[in-house]
Amino acid sequence: MGKRKGLQNFLFFFGILPFFFWFFLRTIQAEEKKGDILYYTCTMHPSVKSKTPGKCPICSMDLVPVYASSFETKAEQKIPKETPEASPFFIPPERLQAIGVRTEEVQVRKLKLEIKAPAIVSINESKIYDINVKAGNGYIIKLYANYVGKHFSKGETLATILSQDWVQAQMDYIKAYRAWRRSLLVKKDNPILLDQQFYHIRARLRVWDLNEDQIRELEKYAWSMSVNDVRTAKGIRGTFELRSPIEGHIHEKNVYEGMYFTAGQSLLKIVGLQDVWILAELPEDQARYIAIGLPCQISFPALPEKTFEAKIDFIQPHFAEETRRLQVRVVLPNPHHILHPGMYADFKTTIDFGTRLAVAEDAVIPTGERYVVFLDHGGGHLEPKFVEIGDKIEGYYIVRGGVKEGDRVVSGANFLIDAEARVQGALKIWSSDHYPMKEKKDSGEKQEPQQMPPSHMHGIPHSHMHGMPGM
């Protein structure tokens, strides 16, 4: 029993001692690799720096050393990575033909971008008129504009108004008009003052929204009245007709027959349809090409035989938050009222980019932050080339750099060429810069693949796996 215990102590001592010795040597080597100590600092307060070890004056934690090797590592990390390299590679022409490779020349092309967007017909908001009585309160005796959408010609009667203030306004004007007419026949001491008084009363009468015909009719009646009629207000009516200022239809109705209203209250809204708005909405990527005055074409699914030429009249300053689209406006004349608000329309315009060097869209492969094309040198010799591209227009990218006119690029089966380029390592951007094999190749050492011993797998003896299924 004592011999066995002594044997165990012997094996433990000579088994553990080499391990501690190896750990000690590794620690010394690690300390040597760290380099010289630059200063001591606090992990919680990096602003604290000391030449000697000690305690942090802020939190009383032990200061830790900062080695020179830490700065060297940070400096190495700040070195920018090299520009991804590209090298030619070879694919047999028979294989290129089998996978359906197509090529195309980089050419200077005349590029035009056609922008299309859905649109809708809307009323011209600048042609909406509010109908009200500005000078006094009253009642609606008769309402002719008795439903929304009813059409009225200019000067047609909308309603008959009864107002007590209207009676007094007529009498003031009749007296002023008769005095002014008599002054033209008899020389007065101060005719200018009389004229001013008359025009002042005439301006007050216009507040009742009377047209010239109504004012002339009142003046004709005023001159035919006798002095007694003027004194008794004989023939003066307490009602007047409220007439439409434009040709249009009733857009909004806020009044009913017999209703009482106050001065300035909105009774009706009438809108003219002599011209209409076409409202189109463009996505963000197309809105940047649009400008006021840009020519455009408007067509209608309901009127396939008609296409209207117009210009952009207005661009909304903000995108719609719900749709992320920008609204543009076009004004179209509508003399025969064939365009009705709510109709669908199609907006189209063309942006001319002139002649630009361009490459086919199918020839460009994105690799993240950069773009690649494959140059075809003939005979199966291909070369990846990084290019700088601009806007995409009708299937072509504007070329800003990387290729020149006349270069032939692969424009079909590009992803198969991409896979072949990866296999042959033609593009360094697709190979890791941190592979251990690359470092050993640079040092001249040969990398042998590691193989597991035939008797073990993942640390489990092979003899213990005979009972497992499939073994």
The pLDDT profile of the chain, 471 residues, written as one tens digit per residue, is 555 555 555 545 555 555 555 555 555 454 544 457 878 888 777 778 888 888 888 888 888 887 665 444 444 444 444 445 567 888 888 888 888 888 899 999 999 999 999 999 999 999 999 999 988 899 999 999 999 999 999 989 999 999 988 888 888 888 888 888 777 666 655 567 777 777 888 888 888 888 788 888 888 888 888 878 777 777 788 888 899 999 999 999 999 999 999 999 999 999 998 999 999 999 998 999 999 999 999 999 999 999 999 999 999 999 998 999 999 999 999 988 899 999 999 999 999 999 999 999 888 988 878 898 989 998 888 888 899 999 888 889 999 999 999 999 988 766 667 665 665 555 554 444 433 334 334 444 444 433 333 333 333 333 333 433 333
- DSSP H helices in 44-163: 68-78, 93-98
Orientation angle between helical segments 191-206 and 212-224, nearest 10 degrees: 130
Q: What is the CA radius of gyration of the chain?
A: 46
Element (H, E) at 391: strand 381-393
Q: Could you tell me the two tokens for 459?
A: 């640390």
Q: Could you tell me the two tokens for 208?
A: 């009742």
Cα(240)–Cα(46) distance, rounded to whole angstroms? 89
Q: How many CB atoms lie within 10 A of CB 360?
A: 20
Phi then psi for residue 361, to 5 deg, are: -60, -40
Q: Give the residue from 160, 129, 130 showing the smallest Cα distance to 144.
A: 160
Cα(74)–Cα(445) distance, rounded to whole angstroms? 28
List of residues 6+ apart from 313 with CB closer than 8 A: 292, 329, 330, 331
Q: Give the residue from 300, 308, 332, 305 showing the smallest Cα distance to 118.
A: 300
Judged on CB neighbours under 10 Å (0-12, 13-18, 19+), 399 is buried
Phi then psi for residue 67, to 5 deg, are: -95, 160
Q: What is the pLDDT at residue 84?
A: 52
Q: What is the pLDDT at residue 439?
A: 39
Q: What is the pLDDT at residue 428?
A: 54
Q: Give SS3 for 26.
A: helix
Q: What is the pLDDT at residue 328?
A: 97
Q: 125-138 burial string, b = 16+ CB within 10 Å, else e? A: eebeeebbbebbeb
Evaluate whether 242 touches 154 at the Cβ level (below 8 Å): no
Element (H, E) at 315: strand 303-315
Q: What is the pLDDT at residue 186?
A: 60
Looking up tokens 């006119």 gives 405
Give 318's DSSP letter.
Answer: S
Cα(134)–Cα(165) distance, rounded to whole angstroms? 11
> What residue ranges define each of the domains in the chain, with the CATH number in brackets?
34-79 (no CATH), 89-110+355-432 (2.40.420.20), 115-124+272-353 (2.40.30.170), 131-270 (no CATH)
